[in-house]
């Protein structure tokens, strides 16, 4: 993992003096509208994805919903924003350009951290995300124009943000994710180098670490959990499932919460809730950390989603 801020050493045992640090987390915006593809672009898996979009997904993922949610995020004035993937739908070149413009409306690269999702690596032929989103997916200290490298590390106030990529192209009807041996080994080595880091550690990944759906799972979740069981983080944030979720995993000093969110652009459909995001207020409480989660989003009702974003729940996680 890369050292982000050269003025802050990971081996410095002093913690940034702050009363609270607020981290916003949203995921799976699936930006609409979908740009019109040409026939050449609709080969293979994209053809199936395009049919699925035209049949149902275009009515589920709405730009007005996403814009209202982001406006509420900005009104809450978080110290940093994390986005855990699936900004696009079919990985069309024009989608990445539009997603870059959307990211710039959310915040500057220094204030927004992104990890990719499976839809951002929908097919093998595109590498547009490297040039379009580089500033949002680089660790601190990365040189301009450098290729993307995972895992990466960013330090923001009392937080150490660790980004990994589970985004890999898959066969039609599959949405699995994989970190791969090289990324897992780099993560293991990086944690060893951060042994004295006093910060609150947040792992960002698109796929959840446990899934009942074999076609949507993180294929090497067990290997990642072994590393986390040895080194530990304080919080895991993910997307992919489009639901509110909290799972707990064993770490070296206690259980680790892993929190997922619904799609940031979705209206309620089937068992999936309306768009929402999370705000985490992180403070030092003596020798330990305190983390409170606030869920903000649209309220589901028989008529659909409410017209405004509101606080849905407040939870003491840690």
The pLDDT value recorded for residue 130 is: 64
Extract the tokens encoding 81. Answer: 């924003």
6-62 pLDDT tens trace: 333 332 334 444 579 999 999 999 999 999 999 888 888 999 999 999 999 999 999
Rounded mean pLDDT, 73-91 = 97
Domains observed in the chain? 21-316 (3.60.21.10)
Tens digit of each residue's pLDDT (9 = 90 or more) over 264-293: 999 999 999 999 999 999 999 888 999 999
For 20-57, b/e burial (b = at least 16 CB within 10 A) is ebbbbbbbbbbbbebeebeeebbeebbeebbeebeeeb
**What confidence score (pLDDT) does residue 8 get?**
31
Question: pLDDT tens, 98-139?
Answer: 999 999 999 999 999 999 999 999 987 655 566 788 899 999
Whether 53 and 88 have beta carbons less than 8 Å apart is answered as no
* Angstrom distance (rounded) from CA 182 to CA 173: 26
Phi-psi category of residue 51: left, alpha or beta, with phi > 0 → left and psi -120 to 50 → alpha: alpha
Report the pLDDT value the prediction gives residue 125, as an integer from 0 to 100.
61
Q: Counting beta carbons within 10 angstroms of the beta carbon of residue 315, is it exposed (0 to 12), middle (13 to 18) or buried (19 or more)?
A: middle
Q: Helices (DSSP H) in the chain: which residue ranges?
A: 45-52, 58-60, 63-76, 93-106, 128-137, 181-193, 221-231
pLDDT in tens, 208-224: 999 778 899 999 999 99
Average pLDDT over every residue of 71-87: 98
Helix (H, G, I), strand (E, B) or coil at 152: strand
The pair of structure tokens assigned to 293 is: 């989660």
Q: What pLDDT band is residue 306 in, cutting at 50, 70 and 90?
A: low
What integer pLDDT is reported at residue 126 of this predicted model? 55
Closest CA to 177 of 164, 190, 189, 191: 164
The predicted model gives 177-186 an average pLDDT of: 97
- Which pLDDT score is estimated for 299? 85
pLDDT of residue 7: 34
Mean pLDDT of the chain: 90
Residue 249 has pLDDT above 60, yes or no: yes
């Amino acid at each position: 993992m890369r050292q982000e801020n050269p003025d802050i050493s990971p081996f410095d045992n002093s913690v940034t003096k702050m009363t609270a640090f607020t981290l916003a987390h949203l995921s799976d915006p699936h930006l609409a509208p979908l740009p019109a593809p040409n026939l050449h672009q609709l080969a293979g898996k994209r053809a199936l994805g395009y049919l699925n979009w035209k049949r149902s997904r275009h009515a589920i993922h709405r730009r007005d919903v996403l814009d209202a949610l982001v406006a509420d995020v900005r009104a809450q004035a978080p110290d940093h924003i994390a986005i855990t993937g699936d900004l696009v739908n079919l990985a069309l070149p024009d989608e990445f350009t539009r997603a870059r413009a959307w990211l710039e409306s959310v915040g500057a690269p220094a204030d927004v951290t992104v990890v990719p999702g499976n839809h951002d690596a929908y097919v093998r032929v595109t590498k547009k995300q490297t040039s379009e989103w580089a500033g949002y997916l680089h660790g601190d200290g990365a040189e301009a124009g450098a290729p993307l490298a995972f895992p990466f590390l960013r330090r923001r106030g009392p937080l150490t943000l660790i980004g990994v990529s589970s985004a890999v192209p898959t066969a039609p009807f599959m949405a699995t994710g994989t970190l791969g041996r090289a990324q897992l080994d780099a993560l293991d080595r990086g944690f060893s180098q951060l042994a004295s880091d006093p910060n609150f550690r947040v792992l960002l990944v698109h796929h959840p670490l446990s899934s009942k759906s074999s076609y949507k799972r993180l294929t090497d979740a067990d290997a990642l959990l072994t590393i986390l069981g040895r080194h530990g983080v304080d919080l895991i944030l993910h997307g992919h499932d489009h639901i509110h979720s909290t799972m707990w995993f064993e770490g070296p000093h206690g259980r680790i919460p892993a929190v997922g969110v619904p799609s940031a652009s979705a209206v309620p459909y089937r068992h999936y809730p309306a768009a929402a995001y999370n705000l985490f207020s992180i403070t030092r409480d003596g020798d330990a950390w305190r983390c409170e989660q606030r869920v903000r989003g649209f309220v589901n009702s028989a008529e659909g989603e409410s017209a405004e974003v509101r606080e849905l729940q407040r939870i003491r996680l840690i």
